[in-house]
Structure 1
Amino acid sequence: MRLKAGERWRYQPPMGHTVLWAAIASGAVSVPDELRHGDFAAFEASNEAVEFEAITDTEFVLGSAAPHRHDLVLGHYSVHTTPAALRNGEAFIEEIRAGNG
């Protein structure tokens, strides 16, 4: 999302999306807490809308999702549902890095 200083934008998550996060690429935004370049924010679980107000010209990425009902296995570059899937995914990333993918 790109907002000019003083501009507001309201995000209403789709039904069931109670997981919400934002990563600030540049500038600063109020939600109402201030987030700046490089900040990552994970919001409290909610169906409520979130209003963003740009303090300066800003760019950020926003994501929302329905909660995942499975335990997650976190890797360096990815998230999977099983340790085996994580190993396969990270091996594929290494293949791509080596020019074989």
Structure 2
Amino acid sequence: MQYPKSLLAIACGLLLSPAFAADEEAPAPAAAPAKIAIGASTEALLDLQRSGLAAGQLQPVQGEVASRNYQRYLDSFKKPTTVGQIDQPATAAAVGTSR
């Protein structure tokens, strides 16, 4: 169904008007998260993770993926490193993780 452009403009104008905006409540400020108490079983699991005793087998990267990763590593030396890159810890956004 096609609506005339003037009708759409009027509808958008009404929705964006202060009368409609006044009906909405302002969001409440976010409270600080409560401190989480970690139990003995959680501490044991974290200790196991830190120790690496239950780690799985290493999975080597092979073929095209390995080749591209190595080339990206070599290319990283073509650009100069700035002082800010050395002093700042790496973040997920800076490293370029994709999930």
Q: Which has the higher helix share?
A: 2
TM range (shorter): under 0.3
Which of structures 1 and 2 has the larger relative contact order (alpha carbons within 8 angstroms, sep 6+)? 1
What TM-score, normalized to structure 1?
Answer: 0.26
What TM-score, normalized to structure 2?
Answer: 0.26
| The structure with more radius of gyration | 2
